Structure 1
Amino acid sequence: MVQNMTTLLTQSLVIIDIETTGANPIRNDVLAVGLVPLNDATRSFVVYVRPPAPQWNPFAQANFQKFAETWESQAVSPVAACAAIEGYLAQEFHGEVVTPIGHNIGFDVAFLRKLAFLGGRDELEAVSRRALDTHTMLYLLFLQGRIPSSALSSDGAFEHFGIAVASHARHTALGDALATRELVIKLLDMLGAPFLPLAPSSRVEVRAHSLTRD
């Protein structure tokens, strides 16, 4: 019964990874947003964003070269990016409110709010104000003595759990989100809450748990 409930409630979890021009959401801007549903039967999504006047830090500017060519051809305005994200969520989750999950997810949530502001919104539709942090999940396992401290960083966690990320995909929105999805599934299993995909006919039950954004 616990496994069934866990399966039910994890259907609206979406791994989010954001690439930015720096680490400060006041000064810096979003360049790319990757969205990877925990349920791999639902398609992933990435949108590239062209901020009005980007300010860079050195690491972000160097890392940008990994996806600069795609960004140049596909980047859209913050307004269009917000609309694209909301359209994707509406199409794939049929009105459900999704819960963001990621490593140090507060970083990504802060930049999502910045993007929403630039897109003329207070917040993005269908994205919960609450979020799950894989670092917190890792830290709980560390406190239990089940993983080493070296596994608390994203790089360390990927190495510890044998999750391979190609160098050209590391620190890209979609590449990191896909790797984090693998990590989340392993962490749920270790925490006693294994994830199993639901059949499409079960989705109506999931919506009953997501009637409000928070």
Structure 2
Amino acid sequence: MTWRSAEFVALDFESTGMNPARDEVIQVGLVPLGAERIRLGEAYAEWVRPTKPFAGGSVAIHGLSAERLQQAPAVAEVRPALARQLEGRVLVAHYAELERGFLKRWGIKPPPTVDTLMLALALDGQITQTARRDAYTLSALAARFGVEVYGEHDALADALITAQVFLVLAHELQKKGRVKTVKDLTRLSGYGGGFLGLFG
């Protein structure tokens, strides 16, 4: 399947830390896209109630505390809606291993995955071990490609930025003859395994 005809969903989790085995998701944001268009009207965002207090550093980043999130729905309430949104779509995320880790912890099998971080490195002929990390953050790529940043550390805003950055990267990689299909994108992202079936 050509990437232009596929259905994607850009996903971002805001969490209490970077370890899916230990930390918790406190906000989900996703933006569907297909036919090279972002469908903002179908965007979805939800706060998630944590099960335990979290570190002060997370409060500083998100401006939230466990106490303020006590009215938010629990994971069990958010999970079914998220799983429905991912069904039949290709996942797009920046540093996707984090989102995939939290999905697995929630008992959701990650769909075929495209990582905008890895696509940017591929476009520049860079590898993770030697690339300047600050040049490949989501906000750095947004600035580079002229994508407006509405606010960082908000899951919906970051999902929207990720969707826009993805479209730029996919077009640039196609111009270079490196991308035509969804399988090309997942392969460059490091997720080119045997699960692609419908999306090749």
**Which residue of structure 2 aligns with residue 157 of structure 1?**
141
Letter in 1 for 2:22: R
Cα deviation, residue 162, structure 1: 1.2
Contact 1:16/1:177 (CA < 8 Å) preserved in 2?
A: yes
Deviation at 1:67, TM superposition (A): 9.6
- SS of the equivalent of 1:36 reads strand
Q: CA deviation at 1:86?
A: 2.9
Asked if 1:187 corresponds to 2:169, the answer is yes
RMSD over aligned CA atoms reads 3.2
* Percent pairwise identity: 27
Cα deviation 1:151-172 (Å, max 9, x = unaligned): 4222211111111213xx2111
For residues 52 and 69 of structure 1, do their structure 2 counterparts lie closer, same or farther at Cα, with a shift above 3 Å needed? closer
What's the secondary structure of 1:38's corresponding residue?
Answer: strand
CA displacement, residues 22-74 of structure 1 (integer Å, 9 cap, x when unaligned): 1121221000111111232461111211121143261x22122179999565x
Shift of 1:135: 0.9
Matched, 1:17 2:12: yes
SS of the equivalent of 2:30 reads strand
CA contact (8 A) 1:34 1:174 kept: yes
Cα distance in 2 for partners of 1:72, 1:138 equals 38
* Superposed displacement of residue 87, structure 1: 4.3
Q: Distance in 2 between matches of 1:151 and 1:61?
A: 26
**Equivalent of residue 135 in structure 1, options 117, 124, 129:** 117
- Are the equivalent residues in 2 in contact too, given 1:22–1:57 (CA < 8 A)? no
Equivalents in 2 of 1:113, 1:213: separation in Å? 21
TM-score for the superposition, normalised by structure 1 = 0.69
- Cα offset for 1:184? 0.6
* Partner Cα distance (2:199, 2:2) in 1: 20
Q: What SS is found at the alignment partner of 1:23?
A: coil
Q: Gaps (5+ residues) in structure 2?
A: 182-195
Is the CA contact (8 Å cut-off) linking 2:54 and 2:66 kept in structure 1? no
Residue identity matched to 1:103 = H
Letter in 1 for 2:88: V
Corresponding residue for residue 203 of structure 1? none
With normalisation by structure 2, the TM-score equals 0.73
Which structure 1 residue ranges, 5 or more long, are not aligned?
90-95, 117-121, 196-209
Structure 2 Cα separation of the partners of residues 194 and 69 of structure 1: 47
CA deviation after TM superposition for structure 1 residue 194, in Å: 8.5
1:48 matched residue in structure 2:
47
How far apart are residue 101 of structure 1 and its match?
1.0
Aligned counterpart in structure 2 of residue 105 of structure 1, from 96, 119, 134? 96
Cα distance, 1:211–1:6 mapped onto 2, change above 3 Å:
closer
